[in-house]
Amino acid sequence: MHRHYSLDVTAPLLRTQGYVDGRWVSAASVFPVLDPATGKEITRVADCGPAEAKQAVDAAYKAFHSWKQCTAKERSILLRKWFDLLTLHKEDLAKLITFESGKPLREAVGEITYAASFLEWFSEEARRVYGDIVPSPIKDRKILLLKQPVGVASIITPWNFPSAMITRKVGAALAAGCTVVVKPAEDTPLSALALAELAEQAGIPAGVFNVVPCSREKTPSVGEVLCTDPLVAKISFTGSTATGKVLLKMAADTVKKASMELGGHAPFIVFDSADVDKAVAGAMGSKFRNSGQTCVCSNRFLVQSGIHDRFMEKLGQAMDAELRVGHGLEPETTQGPLINTRAAEKVAHQVSDAVSKGAKVLKGGKRLDGSFMEPTLLANVSTEMLCMKEETFGPLLPVIRFDTEEEALAIANASNVGLAGYCYSQDVSQIWRVAEALEVGIVGINEGLLSTPEASFGGVKQSGLGCEGSKHGIKEYLEVKYMCFGGLKP
């Protein structure tokens, strides 16, 4: 990356301080935010610590007592205003994503549309939090089940979708009547702070939405406050399974409600009856979106023997024709950098491990400058290789040849995580069998791009707890209170 790229966004959207109780706050120190494509510093952001995190929790707790008294309609209107502002500023918000995460600009614009859609969806769901009146077995009593917000929610989000992972959680929380403290990933704090600016413009009251950015060094101490403070009732985290386990242990002492969207290792199964062109298109979208850095990315490709060679040939042709590596601002770029050099090193290590165990590199395979990695296609892959055992989070597409449906399912389910899985077939009976047998929370049938606010998003096994999006997402921020109204005259 020898060309100079500069971040040009509307001044109020480029915020570098924390946002606590409706005020922009500085910290004792700052930390740099880097463009992963060039390694150059974009700006420096307040490095909030435990003290700022505690202030944010206290502010959220204070605001909760008034926010929960707002009517559902009032909360709905404010969320809709926030949605409108995201839509209005989507180009600038997308540039922030491209610069701090490396995501190609076209995809970044798509993320803002996706992020905004959760505010729209939950602005509507806010008015559909229904309780129940239950028939009583005793004549002088009435049984009511009320839905009430749980309280302050700590929201800890990843770098790969720096806007959408916030709105998917916060939209539900605010719709339910909860208040939040957001700790964005240290790589991508600018998107979170821009959302705070727009929340303020939308009229979200002080203390309802707080953001405490911090460096990698401060993350453990800030995370500890957000997961152990008695005033926090709920934590919601998206990230690795290992980190999720640490947060759950910290939250256990005060028995906090928790939802976790953790690691995935998605199988992508192509059966002999599949439409090859559709399967190739699905593989390209599922694998190479965001350079392979999504939690529902296909990681393990299983292709049946009868269609294997044709699939591999067409997939290689599609990779040559469609994939272009470069800075996210370049219009032709489809593959930006990985988030940092450690991520690129991990992919390169998986490639070398696979080759040492007999895999053949058909496309790519090389580590490029900085955080860039060539999109890579591997054949002759076996289950003993690292790429089949651990999540890649990069543009590596390993293909295993299989013979029977039973064999494919055994390989697909041989994982301790289960977020997403994909199946390409035109045999309806097979589709039902495989969809029900896959040990995952999300299944794509002849479709490689799944996410939408109307549908639930969550995994099984060690891929997490609870779900986000859909009518079920708001339930993660509610508790049920049983009210028995007795002494009534029949």
- Confidence bin at 360 (pLDDT 50/70/90): very high
pLDDT digits (tens, 9 = 90+) for 422-454: 999 999 999 999 999 999 999 999 999 999 999
pLDDT digits (tens, 9 = 90+) for 103-159: 999 999 999 999 999 999 999 999 999 999 999 999 999 999 999 999 999 999 999
Residue 11 has pLDDT above 80, yes or no: yes
Catalytic residue, candidates 295, 297, 387, 423: 295
Q: How high is the pLDDT of residue 5?
A: 86
* Three-state SS at 321: helix
Mean per-residue pLDDT over the chain, rounded: 97
Q: How high is the pLDDT of residue 6?
A: 85
Nearest CA among 267, 325, 300, 303 for reference residue 425 = 303
Q: How high is the pLDDT of residue 3?
A: 74
Per the annotation, the verdict on 70 as an active-site residue is no
* Percent of all residues in the chain with a pLDDT value above 70, rounded to a whole number: 100
Tell me whether strands 18-20 and 23-25 are parallel, antiparallel or unpaired.
Answer: antiparallel
Q: Could you write out the DSSP letters of every residue in 226-287?
A: HHH-TTEEEEEEES-HHHHHHHHHHHHTTT-EEEEE----EEEEE-TTS-HHHHHHHHHHHH
Residue 2 has pLDDT above 70, yes or no: no
Residue 10 has pLDDT above 90, yes or no: no
pLDDT digits (tens, 9 = 90+) for 196-255: 999 999 999 999 999 999 999 999 999 999 999 999 999 999 999 999 999 999 999 999
Contact predicate 291/102, CB 8 Å: yes
pLDDT digits (tens, 9 = 90+) for 316-351: 999 999 999 999 999 999 999 999 999 999 999 999
- Over range 51-63, report the average pLDDT: 98
Catalytic residue, candidates 261, 405, 439, 468: 261
Chain mean position to CA 183: 14
- Helix spans in 323-412 (H): 341-356, 405-412
Q: How high is the pLDDT of residue 1?
A: 52
How many other CB atoms are there within 10 angstroms of residue 481's CB atom?
Answer: 11
Contact predicate 81/220, CB 8 Å: no
Nearest CA among 390, 159, 353 for reference residue 265 = 390
Q: How high is the pLDDT of residue 483?
A: 98
Which uninterrupted H or E stretch holds 483? strand 478-485
Q: How high is the pLDDT of residue 448?
A: 96
- Confidence bin at 490 (pLDDT 50/70/90): confident
Chain mean position to CA 241: 13
Per the annotation, the verdict on 295 as an active-site residue is yes
- Helix spans in 89-163 (H): 90-101, 105-125
More confident residue, 407 or 2: 407
